[in-house]
Amino acid sequence: MRRVAVACAVAGVALAVANAAGAATSECKGLQVCVPVVGPWVLTTTAGTEFQLDCPKRFIVGGLDAELSSRAVDLGFAGGLGSPVNPGVTTTGSAVFLGRFVGARGVATFRPHIGCIPASGGGQRTPTVYQVFKPGKPTVRVVQQLTVLPIVTTNLVAHCAASQRLVRATYAVAFFSDTPPSARVAQSVHVKQVVRNGNVRVSAHGGLAIPENTIVQVDLVCAVAA
């Protein structure tokens, strides 16, 4: 999976090692060599939210976990097809968490955790005799981050490579803080996304009480030319 990251004030925090302030999580359980990585608190919606969390270079995702601010968050992740189901086949150097708020009212967030292990090959995908095409990677993700500032509007423009076609564009609001943001703080972040001619334009601003490291992660799914 290829990734494009925008340099910003919070570019390094996505790889921050989980600290003791968070709740006990098990992303490294059973893994002899594991680097725990903690993400921000990601605002979920009833329509669904996607958020990508990356391992350090030369590491792949070996375990996943999360903290929820509400039991009404339905959470999973996007895994690759193949056998056996294990790191290097099901997962890569990144994990895309898929969250959806299923509560009747209010807001909720989740904080993703991944356990990263040294990349050492992993399993091999084995096609069956009944398949015409082996499941592959017809899409790539382009991920960029926009820093959200109080009152002031910040902007970002993202697009697929010239040889690719935009399939879907989503965004997720996330807060780098030890505890979930209050409903008032979460709802004070306003994001506008416009897609035109393959270009995705995103603008955002927040209220005065937002955490210093508040971001909008913009996630493009691009089709690779056959």
The secondary structure of 73-139, three-state, reads EEEEECCCCCCCCCECCCECCEEEEEEEECCCCCCCEEEEEEEEEECCCCCCCCCCCCCCCCCCCCE
- pLDDT, residue 134, reads 54
pTM: 0.79
Question: What's the rounded Cα separation, in Å, for the pair 105 and 177?
Answer: 23
Rounded Cα distance between 13 and 51, Å, is 14
- What is residue 135's predicted lDDT score, i.e. its pLDDT? 57
User: Per-domain residue ranges for the chain?
Assistant: 13-224
Find the range with the poorest average confidence among 83-87, 93-97, 194-198. 83-87
Each residue's pLDDT tens digit, 42-76:
999 999 999 999 999 999 999 999 999 999 999 99
pLDDT of residue 48: 94
